[in-house]
């Protein structure tokens, strides 16, 4: 009798253990992540243009299993704000919702991000990203926000 209970418990807990991909959230305009520290700790979906972060002399901006990219406002919206990009951190790997590892010295053509459904995005492509945002340093606002991305979609 205990084996079926254990099997059922394991089956029900599997999504929690496997790190499920979050659902898309109501879209938050990217520009709001430059000014609204109240979004801190929330799961947010926003859209922008993927671009490589500018590391020192083209060096990789990766730490551990995550790399930093910039998510830029489309050109017409950028005129509204002085801040034009949000730092997003993506997991490295070969599966969906991940980016290919960058070499120590990289070029724009090295950026390959695999979205939901398997489509590969490159530097300058439009992406819809979902993840937890960080907009505070302790209790103080730290803007623009930053995002740890868990889901990438093609808009």
Q: 98 is written with which tokens?
A: 């991940």
Tens digits of per-residue pLDDT, 10-32? 333 333 334 588 898 899 999 99
5 phi, psi to nearest 5 deg: -65, -45
DSSP 28-67: --GGGGGT-GGGTT-EEEEEEEEEE---GGGB--EETTEE
Say how far apart CA 24 and CA 47 lie, in whole Å: 11
33-153: CATH, from 3.40.470.10, 2.60.300.12, 1.20.1250.20, 2.40.50.140: 2.40.50.140
pLDDT digits (tens, 9 = 90+) for 97-131: 999 988 878 889 999 999 999 999 999 999 999 99
What value, to the nearest 5°, has the Cα angle with vertex 33 and ends 32 and 34? 90
CB burial of residue 152 (10 Å; 0-12, 13-18, 19+) = buried
Would you kindly state where each structural domain of the chain is located, as residue ranges?
Answer: 33-153
Query: Residues 55-76: what's their mean pLDDT?
Result: 77
pTM: 0.80
């Amino acid at each position: 009798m205990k084996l079926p209970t254990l099997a059922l418990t394991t089956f029900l807990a599997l999504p929690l253990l496997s790190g499920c991909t979050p659902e898309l959230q109501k879209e938050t305009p990217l520009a709001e992540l430059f000014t609204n520290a109240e979004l801190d700790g929330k799961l947010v979906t926003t859209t922008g243009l993927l671009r490589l972060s500018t590391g020192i002399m083209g060096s990789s901006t990766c730490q551990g299993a995550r790399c930093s990219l910039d998510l830029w406002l489309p050109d017409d919206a950028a005129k509204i704000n002085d801040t034009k990009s949000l730092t997003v951190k993506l997991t490295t790997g070969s599966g969906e919702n991940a980016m290919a590892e960058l070499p120590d010295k990289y070029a724009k053509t090295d950026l390959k991000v695999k979205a939901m459904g398997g489509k590969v995005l490159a530097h300058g492509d439009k992406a819809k990203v979902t993840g937890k945002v960080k907009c505070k340093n302790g209790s103080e606002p730290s803007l623009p926000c930053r995002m740890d991305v868990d889901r990438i979609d093609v808009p």
